[in-house]
Structure 1
Amino acid sequence: MKKPLVIISACQFTRLALESLIPADRYIVRVYSNVTTEVEFVLKTSCGYLLADIP
Structure 2
Amino acid sequence: MHSAFDWVAEHPKELAIGAIVTVAFLFGGELVAAGAGLLTYLVNLFAQTAR
The interval holding the TM-score normalised by the smaller chain is: under 0.3
Question: So what's the TM-score if we normalise by structure 2?
Answer: 0.25
Q: Which of structures 1 and 2 has the bigger CA Rg?
A: 2
Q: Which has the higher contact order (CA 8 A, sep 6+)?
A: 1
Which has more strand, going by share of residues?
1
TM-score by length of 1: 0.23
